[in-house]
Structure 1
């Protein structure tokens, strides 16, 4: 007899509790090269734009119709090292044609297996920020790269 909550994959318990993924295990790839050491990724965001339309004779509400998507810039932060690939990419992006690259952000479970993934299409750097330097501080020197892109999608084959 089939379970009441749907048809699970073979060997999968349909009643097993699924904990949410933790946000500290992830990798970032740029053109299939893994960039290790990012401590923060922000801007994984996609929003539906809407247009308000009032219907004649209907005073109880206003229609909100979808008109397209907007995407936030993606921001990558990591400790500053001798690796110069992010700075080099920024230097290339100020010229025509713009050096656009696809990026992937891959979230991992506690065992290190990839769970969720996002592809950022045709990204290019629009801002690099170096570390704040303080003689009496002891914090890690950080670099931040902000990317503009043409859209973000979920990578097929992930949940």
Structure 2
């Protein structure tokens, strides 16, 4: 009998920018979008109000992980913004511990917003983590990113 893969098991996220992997992250927040709705009342029609879609907004995505050697790739990408802004495509793949894919999201026009490195405090030892925040202009077919 084939063993089913548990989607709730340990998941990590691989971030790829223009085909180059920036490594695996163990936390990912902000994969969301929101459609703004305008309400329009139609004269003589008191049964309902028209709900019309207007603008779609996409939240920033925050990725976290323990500090690794791949931090240098993130720093290089952020530094490249100072020489001119390009908006590459990106991809976030949710992977199980065995490397099999759970889901993936293609991102349009990705831009690094902020990076935060670890805090070192001998009074409260903890894993050194980094946090990367990125902005984007929407989702696309993950196969295209």
The TM-score range, normalised by the shorter chain, is: 0.7 to 0.9
Per the normalisation by structure 1, the TM-score is: 0.73
1:79 paired with 2:61, answer: no
Structure 2 residue runs of 5 or longer lacking an equivalent are none
Structure 1 residue 119: deviation in Å? 0.6
Structure 1 residue 92: deviation in Å? 1.9
SS in 2 for 1:37: strand
User: For the structure 1 residues 125 and 156, does the alpha-carbon distance in structure 2 shift closer, same or farther, using more than 3 Å as the test?
Assistant: closer
- Matched residues, number: 139
Per the normalisation by structure 2, the TM-score is: 0.79
Tell me, in whole angstroms, the C-alpha distance in 2 between the residues paired with 1:37 and 1:19: 20
Query: RCO higher in 1 or 2 (8 Å CA, sep ≥ 6)?
Result: 2
**Deviation by residue 1:101-154 (Cα, 9 ceiling, x = unmatched):** 222111235753224210111111121112233221221111111111121134
Is the radius of gyration larger for structure 1 or structure 2?
Answer: 1
Tell me, in whole angstroms, the C-alpha distance in 2 between the residues paired with 1:55 and 1:85: 55
SS in 2 for 1:61: coil
User: For the structure 1 residues 125 and 26, does the alpha-carbon distance in structure 2 shift closer, same or farther, using more than 3 Å as the test?
Assistant: closer
Taking only aligned residues, the RMSD between alpha carbons, in angstroms, comes to 2.5
After superposition, where does 1:26-105 map in structure 2 within 5 Å? Answer: 26-82=13-69, 83-95=71-83, 97-105=84-92
Structure 1 residue runs of 5 or longer lacking an equivalent are 1-17
